[in-house]
């Protein structure tokens, strides 16, 4: 440990500020509050602050940023990060440093986010031990009131000087290069730092009446207690303040901003929040978390359970920002968890300390947010609202998808939307998407023609495991647009017909004119190696239909299959799954023989933005294809 007089510390900061290659930011006053902002002089620093309005994560994950720029004539280009200056953050409190460590894991897991990590890796964190604690702070309860790692330098105010703990080579180099008169700390300085840290750890404005280790386990027992969540969220304004000020929240939205020329523009991302009403809403109007209590509960589960199961930490550091920014005063985790604990005592729920789950954090390639360009080589209208597009990547590469995977399709200036690939991987040069006109991107795609260009990212997600299904009997159950992703597997199976047992397709749509892939599908009736049945919910008088009328489940009793040898592959509108699965189960199909493909609002496609989350799972990353046995216990799934 070292010490630096306050005067020399100011000199140190001022010499950092004088260095134009560095971006020096620190805690300053803002009205009656505090905020991190650019420093012009060390005098502006307010290291005696209690809490800043926003956490310093904004320097790595800014409120708004450009991911990609585009030019209609040349395509998409990732925003260059070459001009990112190293940011020196002066005055981060220990809880905010811990939050950065959480964010690092999240932005690094599976696929790394280049924008976050480039900024983060070049930054230097000069922390400061808490001198004044905000009224809503419960960092001690979360074990984050002090910290022994994660910083480059850590300051402790010792009256006329700062004690400086060097936490990294980066910190040491900075101190060596820019400061004068750094002295070795004396024994009594080290002792005073120890005492101060001890005092902070014990001093707490708000605290849990139980150990925070119980949180994941306790939450697990309260998911179904609907009235508990409704009571606590009754006054929720759905304003998102609690999540927007949170140092560990990372959800974002993506949108295109065209220039007035309409030929060029950018695709940006901005902070989003799961407390906001439309967060999980898709173009068809379906909102997968449509009550304020479901959204309110999701916030607690995300922090306290889902991230714990994924990373081994409860992703709350006790800064108290959520609670001090909640106008109706319902966002305070201390109140909620204390109520939950009291309630569990009252109703006699036993809670054991949550065991740390077996975690293997995978890291992988860097995300490329810039789509490749593809050309529409064929456009075939299928129904009044659905059109099939055959696409070819301009760089000549193959899409290389598995059946059941999806791609993100971009239309210049309009945006990006996910679509299941409907062609089999055996079709190599081109791939097919069948798109229903519904929202902005899909409506615009319908106005495009052969030779027009779109952007493609992907393929993404988990597809069907065609290998595992070899030798099995396959029962495809498709409702409406659900035939689209199933077709990629179905055609793959037909192209490798000898590898599979019986192939049965049950396909239903609302009315005859909504039948997709009409000729292709109806011609299946001529094949003797495929059993095919179709149905419509109703047939209007002016249409012709010679087959079954009734919902899709009416077809299931019409086929005879051996449930032990058969795998059912199911895709359709959200309402369909429950009923189809119920009927399959009544035919003794084992749970792990049911495979479903789910639809959610997928924005980033790579497990970061949070929109497609169903409880602990990301549909874009863990799905869209799931084995039913893996999701049957997941309440938001079906």
Among 40, 173, 231, 235, the residue binding other proteins under the rule CB under 8 A is 235
Under a CB-based contact definition with an 8 Å cutoff, are residues 500 and 490 in contact? no
CB of 272 to other proteins, least distance (A): 9
491 contact partners, CB below 8 Å, separation of at least 6: 423, 424, 426, 427
268 binds other proteins per the rule CB under 8 A: no
Among 72, 201, 255, 494, the residue binding other proteins under the rule CB under 8 A is 255
549 three-class SS: strand
User: Closest CB to other proteins among 30 and 180?
Assistant: 30
- Provide the token pair at 456: 């493609």
Considering only residues 281-300, where is the footprint of other proteins by CB under 8 A?
292
User: Closest CB to other proteins among 56 and 459?
Assistant: 56
7 contact partners, CB below 8 Å, separation of at least 6: none
Please report which helix (H) or strand (E) contains residue 18, including its range.
Answer: helix 6-18
605 binds other proteins per the rule CB under 8 A: no
CB of 287 to other proteins, least distance (A): 10
Among 14, 110, 443, 615, the residue binding other proteins under the rule CB under 8 A is 443
Binding mask 60-79 for other proteins (x = CB under 8 A): ---xx---------------
Query: For the stretch 230-266, what's the b/e string if a residue is b when 16 or more beta carbons lie within 10 angstroms of its beta carbon?
Result: eebbeebeeebbbbbbbbbbbbbbbebebeeeeebbb
Bond from prior residue into 459 cis (ω within 30 degrees of 0): yes
Tell me the number of residues near other proteins by CB under 8 A.
44
633 binds other proteins per the rule CB under 8 A: no
CB of 448 to other proteins, least distance (A): 11
Among 86, 258, 501, 574, the residue binding other proteins under the rule CB under 8 A is 258
CB of 601 to other proteins, least distance (A): 14
**Pairwise CA distance, residues 632 & 511, whole Å:** 30
User: Helix 114-121 and helix 94-108: axis angle, to 10°?
Assistant: 140
CB of 388 to other proteins, least distance (A): 21
Q: How far is CA 197 from CA 14, 153, 540, in A?
A: 27, 15, 76
- Provide the token pair at 191: 């002792």
211 binds other proteins per the rule CB under 8 A: no
470 binds other proteins per the rule CB under 8 A: no
Q: Which residues pair with 254 in a beta bridge?
A: 269
Q: Which residues pair with 509 in a beta bridge?
A: 536
Closest CA to 604 of 391, 410, 448, 423: 410
**Pairwise CA distance, residues 483 & 499, whole Å:** 22
Q: Roughly how many angstroms between the first and final C-alpha of the chain, as a whole number?
A: 56
The one-character DSSP state at 355 is P
Q: Which residues pair with 363 in a beta bridge?
A: 109
43 three-class SS: helix
**Pairwise CA distance, residues 387 & 527, whole Å:** 26
CB of 343 to other proteins, least distance (A): 23
**Pairwise CA distance, residues 207 & 136, whole Å:** 10
32 binds other proteins per the rule CB under 8 A: yes
299 three-class SS: helix
**Pairwise CA distance, residues 294 & 477, whole Å:** 30
CB of 311 to other proteins, least distance (A): 25
User: Closest CB to other proteins among 21 and 447?
Assistant: 447
The stretch near other proteins (CB under 8 A) out of 161-169, 337-345, 407-415, 556-564 is 407-415
CB of 263 to other proteins, least distance (A): 11
CB of 77 to other proteins, least distance (A): 20
3-state secondary structure 566-579: EEEEEECCCCHHHH
238 binds other proteins per the rule CB under 8 A: yes
User: Closest CB to other proteins among 179 and 325?
Assistant: 325
**Pairwise CA distance, residues 591 & 564, whole Å:** 11
Binding mask 559-578 for other proteins (x = CB under 8 A): --------------------
54 binds other proteins per the rule CB under 8 A: yes
413 binds other proteins per the rule CB under 8 A: yes
Query: DSSP characters for 83-144?
Result: TPPPEEEEEE-HHHHHHHHHHHHHHHBSSB-HHHHHHHHT-EEEEE--SS--TT--TTTTT-
283 three-class SS: coil
The stretch near other proteins (CB under 8 A) out of 255-263, 342-350, 571-579, 627-635 is 255-263
Question: Residue 331's Cα: distance from chain center in Å?
Answer: 22
Tokens 């009409």 -> residue: 518
Closest CA to 385 of 263, 514, 290: 514
103 binds other proteins per the rule CB under 8 A: no
User: Closest CB to other proteins among 44 and 443?
Assistant: 443
User: Closest CB to other proteins among 175 and 254?
Assistant: 254
Among 101, 172, 201, 276, the residue binding other proteins under the rule CB under 8 A is 276
Binding mask 306-335 for other proteins (x = CB under 8 A): -------------------x-xx-------
523 binds other proteins per the rule CB under 8 A: no
241 binds other proteins per the rule CB under 8 A: yes
> How many residues are given for the chain?
638
CB of 33 to other proteins, least distance (A): 5
132 binds other proteins per the rule CB under 8 A: no
Among 84, 201, 414, 559, the residue binding other proteins under the rule CB under 8 A is 414
263 binds other proteins per the rule CB under 8 A: no
**Pairwise CA distance, residues 435 & 484, whole Å:** 9
The stretch near other proteins (CB under 8 A) out of 157-165, 271-279, 416-424, 465-473 is 271-279
User: Closest CB to other proteins among 29 and 523?
Assistant: 29
345 binds other proteins per the rule CB under 8 A: no
CB of 326 to other proteins, least distance (A): 10
User: Closest CB to other proteins among 48 and 329?
Assistant: 329
User: Closest CB to other proteins among 252 and 300?
Assistant: 252
240 binds other proteins per the rule CB under 8 A: yes
The stretch near other proteins (CB under 8 A) out of 50-58, 177-185, 515-523, 541-549 is 50-58
Q: Which residues bind other proteins (CB under 8 A)?
A: 30-33, 35, 53-54, 58, 63-64, 234-241, 244-245, 255, 257-258, 260-262, 270-271, 273, 276-278, 292, 325, 327-328, 413-415, 439-440, 443-444, 447
């Amino acid at each position: 440990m070292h010490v630096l007089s306050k005067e020399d510390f100011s000199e140190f900061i001022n010499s950092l500020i004088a260095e134009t290659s560095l971006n020096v930011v620190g805690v300053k006053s803002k009205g009656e509050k505090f905020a991190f902002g650019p420093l012009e002089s060390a005098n502006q620093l307010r290291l005696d602050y209690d809490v800043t309005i926003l956490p310093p994560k904004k320097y790595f994950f800014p409120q708004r940023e450009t991911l990609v720029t585009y030019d209609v004539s040349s395509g998409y280009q990732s925003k260059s990060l070459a001009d990112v200056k190293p940011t020196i953050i002066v005055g981060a409190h220990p809880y905010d440093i811990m939050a950065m460590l959480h964010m690092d894991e999240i932005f690094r897991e599976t696929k790394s986010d280049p924008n976050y990590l480039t900024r983060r890796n070049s930054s230097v964190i000069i922390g400061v031990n808490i001198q004044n604690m905000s009224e809503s702070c419960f960092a001690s309860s979360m074990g984050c009131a002090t910290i022994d790692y994660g910083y480059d330098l850590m300051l402790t105010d010792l009256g006329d000087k700062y004690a400086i703990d060097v936490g990294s080579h980066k910190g040491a180099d900075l101190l060596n290069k820019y400061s004068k008169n750094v002295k070795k700390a004396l024994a009594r300085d080290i002792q005073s730092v120890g005492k101060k840290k001890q005092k902070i750890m014990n001093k707490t404005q708000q605290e849990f009446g139980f150990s925070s280790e119980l949180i994941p386990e306790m939450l697990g027992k309260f998911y179904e207690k609907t009235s508990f969540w409704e009571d606590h969220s009754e006054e929720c304004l759905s304003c998102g303040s609690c999540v927007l000020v949170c140092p560990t929240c990372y959800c974002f939205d993506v949108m295109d901003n065209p220039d007035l020329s309409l030929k060029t523009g950018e695709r940006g991302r901005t902070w989003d929040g799961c407390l906001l009403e439309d967060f999980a809403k898709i173009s068809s109007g379906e909102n997968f978390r449509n009550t304020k209590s479901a959204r309110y509960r999701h916030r607690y589960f995300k922090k306290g359970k889902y991230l714990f199961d994924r990373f081994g930490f409860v992703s709350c550091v006790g800064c108290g920002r959520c609670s001090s920014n909640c106008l109706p005063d319902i966002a305070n985790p201390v109140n909620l968890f204390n109520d939950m604990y009291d309630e569990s005592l009252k109703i006699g729920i036993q809670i054991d300390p949550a065991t740390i789950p077996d975690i293997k954090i995978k890291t992988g390639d860097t995300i490329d947010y810039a789509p490749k360009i593809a050309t529409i080589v064929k456009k075939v209208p299928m129904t009044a609202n659905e059109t099939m597009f055959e696409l070819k990547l301009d760089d000549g590469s193959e899409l290389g998808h598995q059946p059941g995977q999806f791609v993100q399709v971009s239309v210049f200036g309009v945006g990006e939307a996910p679509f299941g690939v409907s062609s089999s991987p055996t079709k190599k040069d081109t791939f097919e998407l069948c798109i229903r006109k519904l929202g902005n991107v899909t409506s615009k795609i319908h106005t495009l023609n052969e030779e027009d260009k779109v952007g493609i990212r992907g393929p993404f997600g988990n597809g069907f495991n065609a290998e595992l299904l070899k030798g099995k009997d396959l029962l495809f159950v498709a409702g409406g647009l659900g035939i689209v992703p199933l077709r990629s597997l179905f055609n793959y199976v037909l192209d490798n017909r000898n590898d599979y047992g019986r192939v049965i397709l049950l396909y239903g749509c609302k009315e005859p004119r909504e039948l997709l892939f009409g000729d292709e599908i109806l011609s299946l009736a001529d094949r003797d190696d495929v059993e095919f049945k179709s149905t419509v919910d109703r047939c209007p008088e002016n249409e012709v239909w010679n087959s079954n009328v009734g919902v899709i489940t009416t077809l299931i009793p019409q086929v005879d299959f051996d449930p032990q040898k058969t795998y059912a592959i199911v895709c359709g509108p959200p309402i369909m799954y429950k009923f189809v699965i119920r009927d399959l189960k009544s035919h003794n199909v084992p749970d792990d023989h049911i495979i479903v493909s789910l639809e959610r609002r997928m924005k980033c496609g790579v497990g970061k933005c949070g929109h497609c989350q169903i409880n602990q799972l990301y549909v874009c990353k863990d799905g869209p294809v799931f084995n039913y046995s893996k999701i049957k216990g997941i309440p938001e799934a079906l």
